[in-house]
Amino acid sequence: MELASVHDFLKGKTILVTGATGFLAKLFVEKILRVQPNIKKLYLLLRAENPHIATQRLHDEVLAKDLFKVVREMWGADFGSFISEKVLAVAGDVSLENLGLKDLNLREKMWEDIDIIVHAAAATKFDERFDIAMSINTMGALHALNFAKNCSKMQILLHLSTAYVCGEAKGLVPEEPFHMGQTPNRSSTLDINVEKLLIEEKMEELRAQNAGEQTATSVMKNLGIIRANLHGWPNAYVFTKAMGEMILFNMKGDVPLIIARPTTVLSTHSEPFPGWIEGVRTVDVFVVLYGKGKLRRSVGRRNTIIDAIPADMVINSMIIALLEAQYSKSLSKTLLYHIGSSLRNPFTISDLEDVAYQYFTKNPLINKNGKPVAISNKVTWISSMSSFERYMKIRYVLPLMGLNVVSKVCCHCYDDFHMESQRKLQTLMKITRLYKPYLLFEGTFDDKNAEILRMAKNKAGDDLGRFNFDPRNIDWMDYVLNAHIPGLVKYVVK
Ligand SMILES: NC(=O)c1ccc[n+]([C@@H]2O[C@H](COP(=O)([O-])OP(=O)(O)OC[C@H]3O[C@@H](n4cnc5c(N)ncnc54)[C@H](OP(=O)(O)O)[C@@H]3O)[C@@H](O)[C@H]2O)c1
CB 242 within 8 A of CB 163: no
User: What does the alpha-carbon distance between residue 136 and residue 118 come to, in Å, rounded to a whole number?
Assistant: 15
| CB of 277 shorter than 6 A to ligand 1 | no
| CB of 281 shorter than 6 A to ligand 1 | yes
The pLDDT score that the predictor gives to residue 143 is 98
Tell me whether residue 336 is exposed, middle or buried, using C-beta atoms within 10 angstroms of its C-beta: 0 to 12, 13 to 18, 19 or more: buried
Spot the catalytic one: 241, 252, 436, 457: 241
| CB of 320 shorter than 6 A to ligand 1 | no
Ligand 1 binding pocket mutation candidate from 16, 21, 138 (most atoms within 8 A of CB): 21
Q: Indicate the SS3 state at residue 14.
A: strand
Sign for the CA dihedral angle at 147, 149, 152, 157 comes to positive
Task: Give 199's contacts (C-beta < 8 A, 6+ positions apart).
Answer: 130, 131, 134, 220, 223
In 3D space, the residue among 243, 61, 20 whose CA is nearest the CA of residue 145 turns out to be 243
The residue whose C-alpha atom lies closest to atom 24 belonging to ligand 1 is 121
User: What does the alpha-carbon distance between residue 213 and residue 219 come to, in Å, rounded to a whole number?
Assistant: 10
Q: What are phi and psi of 419, to 5 degrees?
A: -75, 95
Q: Indicate the SS3 state at residue 127.
A: coil
Task: Compute the distance from residue 139 Cα to the ligand 1 centre, in Å.
Answer: 14
Ligand 1 binding pocket mutation candidate from 23, 61, 258, 492 (most atoms within 8 A of CB): 23
In 3D space, the residue among 461, 166, 468 whose CA is nearest the CA of residue 345 turns out to be 468
Task: Compute the distance from residue 469 Cα to the ligand 1 centre, in Å.
Answer: 21
> CA-CA distances (angstroms) from residue 40 to 115, 124, 292?
10, 30, 46
359 is catalytic: no
| CB of 449 shorter than 6 A to ligand 1 | no
| Atom of ligand 1 minimally distant from the CA of 121 | 24
The pLDDT score that the predictor gives to residue 410 is 37
The pLDDT score that the predictor gives to residue 413 is 44
Domains present along the chain, CATH in parentheses = 6-278+307-345+443-474 (3.40.50.720)
Q: Taking each helix axis from N to C terminus, what angle separates 236-251 and 139-150, rounded to the nearest 10 degrees? A: 30
241 is catalytic: yes
**What b-and-e string marks burial along 422-439, b requiring 16 or more CB atoms within 10 Å of the CB?**
eeebeebbebbbbbbbbb
Tell me: the pLDDT tens digits for 12-51?
999 999 999 999 999 999 999 999 999 999 999 999 999 9
What's the one-letter identity of residue 186? R
| CB of 440 shorter than 6 A to ligand 1 | no
Task: Compute the distance from residue 23 Cα to the ligand 1 centre, in Å.
Answer: 7
List residues bridging with 173 in a β-sheet.
445
Q: Taking each helix axis from N to C terminus, what angle separates 282-291 and 422-439, rounded to the nearest 10 degrees? A: 130
Strand 41-47 to strand 14-18: parallel, antiparallel, or no bridges (unpaired)? parallel
User: What does the alpha-carbon distance between residue 366 and residue 378 come to, in Å, rounded to a whole number?
Assistant: 20
> CA-CA distances (angstroms) from residue 50 to 60, 77, 93, 468?
16, 28, 11, 38
| Atom of ligand 1 minimally distant from the CA of 160 | 45
The pLDDT score that the predictor gives to residue 416 is 42
Task: Give 19's contacts (C-beta < 8 A, 6+ positions apart).
Answer: 25, 45, 94, 119, 120, 121, 122, 160
Give the CA-trace dihedral at 294, 296, 298, 304, to 10 degrees: 110
User: What does the alpha-carbon distance between residue 254 and residue 333 come to, in Å, rounded to a whole number?
Assistant: 9
Q: Indicate the SS3 state at residue 369.
A: coil
Task: Compute the distance from residue 20 Cα to the ligand 1 centre, in Å.
Answer: 8
In 3D space, the residue among 211, 231, 221, 41 whose CA is nearest the CA of residue 123 turns out to be 221
The residue whose C-alpha atom lies closest to atom 22 belonging to ligand 1 is 22
Q: Identify the segments of the chain with pLDDT beneath 50.
A: 405-419
| CB of 267 shorter than 6 A to ligand 1 | no
Task: Give 208's contacts (C-beta < 8 A, 6+ positions apart).
Answer: none
Task: Compute the distance from residue 423 Cα to the ligand 1 centre, in Å.
Answer: 29
Show the 3-state SS of 133-171: HHHHHHHHHHHHHHHHHHCCCCCEEEEECCHHHHCCCEE
> CA-CA distances (angstroms) from residue 216 to 220, 224, 421, 467?
6, 12, 24, 45
Work out the number of other CB atoms within 10 angstroms of the CB of residue 35. Answer: 16
Q: Which helix (H) or strand (E) holds 470?
A: none
In terms of DSSP H, where are the helices of 58-97? 69-75, 79-86
The pLDDT score that the predictor gives to residue 433 is 87
Half-sphere exposure of 211 (CA within 13 A, CB side): 16
The residue whose C-alpha atom lies closest to atom 2 belonging to ligand 1 is 265
